[in-house]
Amino acid sequence: MKLAKTLNVAVVLICGGMLLSACASTETAGELISQSSADPDGSEVSKGDLERDSGLLALMREVNLDPCPTQAPNPDTANPGLPDQVFDCLGDTSQISLAKVRGRPMVINVWASWCPPCISELPLLEKVSQEFRTQVDFIGINLEDDPTKALQLMQDFDIKYPSIFDPAGDTRAPLTILGPPVTYFVTSGGMIAGRWDGAIPDQETFDTLLKQFLGVTS
């Protein structure tokens, strides 16, 4: 079946084979959800607690992830799309709030090293992130994970796009995350245009999502 047909048809076909592909989730994996915005209930700011000892810092330098996206100094808060929570960047010593990342479309992928579907999806995410690196920012949310294991996995798959570290699962409630992987498509103005629950199965599907939600084509 060609993806030129509606995504609703594609979702029905994919769901049958991916029912269990989301980790610790009761949702049907591969479910595509269009939405105009995320739950704006993110006024309470929480900070990550990544303990960067000498071993972790050395591993960060070795993995050499791209830096987290630049925050806008005064973003428009009238239409918040992402929770205003401050998290540590997994690959360096900086912190960012996703609510303040504006200017370019963004793909946000929620993942963990303990999640098999997340691991299987990593090569596709890296491939697409490189192909669209001049048009779209890619960033991961490393959920309830061990930072050393997460960085080692990114090293194994030669992942270069950055991730933030969410050890306590603080993004679960505001982003309605039942289980990883989940991928969000965010406009340049910071609004969530759509999401995909479960592992994205192939590049054809990924390309269709980028075009539909962000207007981005190769």
CATH number at residue 52: 3.40.30.10
Question: What percent of the chain lies above the pLDDT cut of 90?
Answer: 48
How far does CA 77 lie from the centroid of its chain? 21
Over residues 176-188, the mean pLDDT reads: 94
Over residues 142-156, the mean pLDDT reads: 93
The pLDDT, as a whole number, for residue 64 is 74
Highest mean pLDDT among 29-38, 69-78, 91-100, 183-192: 183-192
Domain assignment present for residue 57? The answer is yes
Distance CA 92, CA 76 (A): 27
User: Is-contact 64 36, C-beta < 8 A?
Assistant: no
Whether pLDDT at 150 is above 90: yes
Distance CA 110, CA 180 (A): 6
Over residues 75-86, the mean pLDDT reads: 68
128: pLDDT confidence band, cut at 50, 70 and 90? very high
Whether pLDDT at 170 is above 60: yes
Domain assignment present for residue 210? The answer is yes
Domain assignment present for residue 52? The answer is yes
Whether pLDDT at 116 is above 50: yes
Length of the chain: 218
Domain assignment present for residue 201? The answer is yes
64: left (phi over 0), alpha (psi -120 to 50) or beta: left
Domain assignment present for residue 13? The answer is no
CB atoms within 10 A of CB 57: 12
CB atoms within 10 A of CB 184: 25
The tally of domains found in the chain comes to 1
User: Is-contact 50 165, C-beta < 8 A?
Assistant: yes
Domain assignment present for residue 8? The answer is no
Domain assignment present for residue 113? The answer is yes
Alpha helices by DSSP H, listed for the chain, are 7-17, 54-63, 116-131, 147-156, 203-214
Residue 14's nearest CA partner among 185, 200, 195, 178 is: 200
Distance CA 7, CA 97 (A): 31
Over residues 120-143, the mean pLDDT reads: 95
Residue 202's nearest CA partner among 10, 6, 5 is: 10
pLDDT: which is higher, 33 or 23: 23
Over residues 173-197, the mean pLDDT reads: 93
Domain assignment present for residue 41? The answer is yes
Q: What is the domain extent for residue 164? A: 21-69+79-214
